[in-house]
Structure formats: structure tokens, C-alpha cells
Structure 1
Amino acid sequence: MDLLAELRARRALCIIRAPAIPDPAGLAATLVAAGLPTVEFALTTPGAPGLIERASTVDGLLLGAGTVLSAADARDAIAAGARFLLTPGLRPEVAEEARRQGVPVVLGAMTPTEVATALDLGATAVKVFPAARLGPAYFGDLHGPYPDAPLIATGGLTTANAAEFLAAGALAVTAGSGVVGPALAAESRFAEISDRAKEFVAAARAAG
């Protein structure tokens, strides 16, 4: 699976983080149908490996695990069906486990030094957080010393600002609670989630 190719093609992915997700497969299928098939379930969600396993049967879904903090987390997520991993910061042991199992990993970073370290650790891409606080121009700044670094903007991305980050050089933007709000996921309000996902995808595509 070529995660970079998927991100270049889609320009967007979705993180799901909620206190409860009663129908992970239904939620995942909703996002796929809405044009947002690259999805990560955060391991901070209770029972996340089981949710990943239940969602892994959905056709067309590119399924990942987020907030992966340890090698054990990585092993559990991969065993459940995650095809890529994301971390909130630099986690060398997660990068090593991902490399051992041949699974793409996106490491979290903020500073230029952290971006360089993430790439040195073998990150497929680098998740820059908190993107909305740093602003779109920050991505252009990072591409000064690292012109080829694949950067994913995460944190505070909305339909109003997604295109700005992509235009500034982000490889992709992450939809979060603005698309899959915790209450919407917990209550399986799929029609609302679908509408929000379609709006986010349209905003990302507006960047060209």
C-alpha cells in the first residue's frame, strides 16, 4: 500500500476520536461513500483495536491507527487491521516496529528539528501539529530547508481553512471533530457526518 500516493490523490484524511463508537463499520462506510476513505481510529478511543478490526471489513477503506505511542500499541493496531500508523510526536519505537512489519508510519512533529528527526526515523510523512495555531505560512517555511518533506496539516483544520494549508504546501489535511464530532460518532448520526465529510472533501479539492 502506497500511503503517499493515496494522500497525494485524496489530499485529505480523517481522524476519529470519540468516547464511544457503536458502529465503526457503518461510520467507516459513511466516510468512504462521502469521498474520505483514508481514516484513522485514535487509540485513545476505548476499545480502539476492536473498533479497527470491525471496520477493517469495509470495502474501499484505507484504515489506520492514530495516537500510537508504543511498540505494543503498534503491534496491537496492526494485528487488528491497521494498514498505517500515526503518532502525536516523535516515537522511535513505533517507527521501528512499523519498519519491522512493513507498515507506513506518520510521525508527529512541530519544529524544524522534529521534522528532520521524523524523516531520519523513516517516517513516510510528517504530521505537523497544531497546524491551525501555526498557520498555513508555516508549511512554506518548513519547505525552505525541507523542500521535499511530505507534511500533513493536523489540528484545527476546517472547511474554511483546509485549502489554504494545501496551497501553502501541505501534502494533505486532516479532518477531525469538525467532521466526525464525538457526539455524532457516539450516536451514529451518519447523515450529518456524510454531509460534513463531503464539505471537507470539496474544500480540500478547491486547492487544486
Structure 2
Amino acid sequence: MPTHPEFTQDLHRQRLVAIVRGSDPEAALRSVLTLAEEGVRLIEISLNTPGAETVIARAVEEAGADAVIGAGTVITREDALRARDAGAQWMVTPALDKGFDHAIALGVPVLAGALTPTEAVAAMRAGAVAVKLFPASLGGPAYLRALRDPMPDVPFVPVGGVDAEAADAYFRAGAIAVGVGSPLLGDAPSGGDLAQLRRRAKAFQTVCAVGADV
């Protein structure tokens, strides 16, 4: 089973997964390219963004080596296939469902959505590169810390309600990275202010750099 060492290294080094979800395909693409310009390398484009496949394909082409473009909200077999066909370099699932199974079968790195200890162990055994702890806000950093006590080797990436302050707390609780949507993107993927997106990107990267020393 592939281990995807390059992607795993990026996850450990970057410590930030940007989640792009919006109502305007062109604005979503501009947000992706702005993040890449600011040094945010791991960028997930949710498949429930209108025109997501086109956004993914154009982002892969236009961002080039500056970003590793993934597809999020991979729920079904069809989702996994259209993400692959669009050029997604990794995939994210909200749960251990058919989308997860087929993403694994396609041989791409997969962040698997899980909440319970049983789900986390099942995800890693099935070949996930990391566990997307979702929704992380349900238990917060204390829940992550409790999970890591019996499972210190499982790489957890909390997603859901993670702002800059929470990101710091999750790193202290043992997260290898955090996945951030609206606290980072704001309304940029729907046509909002890219200057503010740049400011937030810098703020999150500062937190992630400090988190690497925890």
C-alpha cells in the first residue's frame, strides 16, 4: 500500500491545510492562487463548490509547483473519480464511506474523516495518510489530547471551527496540522477581499510555525 512520503512530509512541515469552498468558481480560483502566492502549499478545493472540477484543474495548472491541490468532500465513488479526472493530487473525505474506499483504491493520499477511536484506527489501517478529526469543535483540543493518549502514532488533523487561537491549542494537544476553512478564507471564495485573505494567511502561517516547535 503506498505511503506517500512526500505528501506526508508536506503535511508535517506546512501544518496548514486551507479549505476552499465558495459560490463563485472564479473567486475560488483566485483564492487558491492567492494562498499559493502567500506560501500556503496544501490547498483543498471542496467538491461542493460550483464548477469544482474546473477550479481544481486550473489550480493545478496555474499554481504549478507552488501548491499541492486536493479535492475535499469526497463522499461517493463518482466524487473520487471526478476528483481524479480533474487532477486532484490528494483527497479528503468527511467519513469512512464509499468515497474513502475509492480514493484509497485510486492510490492518492487521503485524509480520512473520523471522530471516534474506532474510526481513526480503521482509517489508518485502510491506508489513510492522516485522520481528519471532524468535527473537531465537538470535543476541542481536550478531546484530541484524550485520543492521543492511547493512539500517539495516529497523525490527527483537526478540522471544523479551527481559528488561529484554536490552532495553537490543537498543536499543543498533539495535532500534526490543522484544516481551516472560513476562519482563513472568509468570503474570498465567493468574491470577497483578497487583501484580507492574505493577512489571515500570514497570521495562520505564524501560528503554524510556532506550532512546529511545540
Provide the TM-score with structure 2 as the length reference.
Answer: 0.90
Instruction: Tell me the equivalent position of 1:31.
Output: 35
Displacement of 1:136: 0.8
Instruction: Tell me the equivalent position of 1:89.
Output: 95
Matches within 5 A, 1:33-182: 33-57=37-61, 58-59=63-64, 60-91=66-97, 93-181=98-186
Displacement of 1:108: 0.3
What is the rounded CA distance, in whole Å, between the counterparts of 1:186 and 1:25 in structure 2?
Answer: 10
Classify 1:21/1:170 alpha carbon distance in 2 versus 1 (closer, same or farther; 3 Å).
same
The alignment's C-alpha RMSD in Å is 1.5
- What is the number of residues matched between the two proteins? 206
Letter matched to residue 87 of structure 1: T
**Does the Cα contact within 8 Å between 1:107 and 1:123 map onto a contact in 2?**
yes
**Structure 2 gaps, min length 5:** none
What is the rounded CA distance, in whole Å, between the counterparts of 2:123 and 2:210 in structure 1?
Answer: 29
**Does the Cα contact within 8 Å between 1:95 and 1:122 map onto a contact in 2?**
no
Letter matched to residue 95 of structure 1: F
**Does the Cα contact within 8 Å between 2:29 and 2:189 map onto a contact in 1?**
no
Question: For 1:115-161, what per-residue CA distance to the aligned partner results, in whole angstroms no more than 9, with x for missing partners?
Answer: 11211221111100121231112122111221100110100111112
